[in-house]
Amino acid sequence: MSALPDRDAAAALRVRPMSIHIGAEIEGVDLTRPLAPGAVAAIRAALLEWKVVFFRGQALDHAQHVAFARQFGDPTPGHVVFGGDSVYPEIYSVAKHRVANSVVGVPHVRPWTGWHTDITAALNPPAASILRGVTVPPYGGDTLWTNLVVAYRNLSAPMRRFLEDLRGIHRFEDQQEGRMSREYAEHVRRSRFESEHPLVRIHPETGEKVLFVSPGFLKSIVGLAPRESEALLELLWEHAVRPEFTVRFRWEPGSVAFWDNRATAHLAPRDIFDSDFERQFYRVTLVGDVPRGVDGRESTPIDGDPIVPV
Ligand code: SIN
């Protein structure tokens, strides 16, 4: 049971914004225990407003991490391509050398990624992701998020109108060009996740317009010539991650980041590879809806099944 009655639990929460456009730290809540409905509602409201919220000093184990997540939605399998923890299938290990996820027959090592929104190659990308830091470098290994609603609003009006009619192809593919093993490349090839999403989606809870341009997965824009598509994507990716739309989080052991995957992209760091520091995090993602464009059209599947709860 939650230690506080509902109204008191919500009142005990303090939401401290970290930048003008994105990110807030939430204090006054213990995530190891079931939350009062008022606290769940307050955290959800902060998440929708600030796009990513952070908690400090939460010593969650896997069971508590999953239980916390379940109060906000249905967890997906740890990772639809790379699997999850053998005991807690909802848990995905994000390790420095990415060694601990169970996909039979595949070496358990996969590369680090750049700016992306989680699994947008799927028809229904996760609604939210919850990442907790367990082994945290003393410095370095931060994570950055960008607010794709604000990115959209900061485009010119003619560009916004132009993008609203466009759709993009998102694909999960081996970006490592031979640097990983053949088994890895073969596993990614066989996993075949590909979807067509609107370039501007309507957020299903806030109604906001989101510039839905996940750099790691979005490969081309439907109907444009290849060079037009390439040039426009380069412009949008550069725009989407302008520093004023972003927040940078410095992790401590027990830190938790909870982000709205429908309205953000994030950058997993690479700097720790220039150090001997270890970094072991765990992530749970929540099942998302099928995106809808400004014209009301839903995304369409090209390959792979929709993500279902685990
Ligand atoms: C992720 O891409 O979900 C992990 C981000 C991180 O490791 O900081």
Distance CA(282)–CA(293), nearest Å, equals: 32
| 143's tokens | 């994570």
* Residue 215 CA to ligand 1 centre (angstroms): 14
* Residue 220 belongs to a domain: yes
Distance CA(52)–CA(205), nearest Å, equals: 15
Best residue for ligand 1 mutational test, from 136, 255, 270, 281 (most atoms within 8 Å of Cβ): 281
Of ligand 1's listed atoms, the one at least distance from the Cα of 129 is 3
CA–CA distance from 42 to each of 49, 81, 155, 248 (Å)?
A: 11, 33, 31, 23
User: pLDDT truncated to tens, each residue of the chain (310 aa)?
Assistant: 444 557 777 788 999 999 999 999 999 999 999 999 999 999 999 999 999 999 999 999 999 999 999 999 999 999 988 889 999 999 999 988 765 565 544 544 445 568 999 999 999 999 999 999 999 999 999 999 999 999 999 999 999 999 999 999 999 886 655 555 666 667 667 778 999 999 999 999 999 999 999 988 999 999 999 999 999 999 999 999 999 999 999 999 999 999 999 999 999 878 888 899 999 999 999 999 999 999 999 999 999 999 999 9
Distance CA(251)–CA(135), nearest Å, equals: 10
* Residue 283 CA to ligand 1 centre (angstroms): 8
> How many structural domains does the chain have?
1
Q: Which residues contact 109 (CB under 8 A, 6 or more apart)?
A: 97, 98, 99, 180, 181, 184
* Residue 310 belongs to a domain: no
Distance CA(185)–CA(130), nearest Å, equals: 27
Q: For the chain, give percent helix, strand, coil, nearest 5.
A: 25, 25, 50
| 159's tokens | 């560009």
| 182's tokens | 């053949």
* Residue 308 belongs to a domain: no
* Residue 178 belongs to a domain: yes
Q: Which CATH number covers residue 212? A: 3.60.130.10
> Which amino acids are annotated catalytic?
116, 118, 266, 283
* Residue 51 belongs to a domain: yes
Q: Which residues line ligand 1 (CB under 6 A)?
A: 94, 118, 129, 131, 143, 266, 268, 281, 283
* Residue 14 belongs to a domain: yes
> What range defines the domain where residue 249 resides?
6-303
* Residue 227 belongs to a domain: yes
Summarised one tens digit per residue, pLDDT across range 170-224 is 998 866 555 556 666 676 677 789 999 999 999 999 999 999 999 889 999 999 9
Helices and strands (H, E) in the chain, number of each type:
7, 17
Q: Side chain identity at 171, as an amino acid letter?
A: R
* Residue 1 belongs to a domain: no
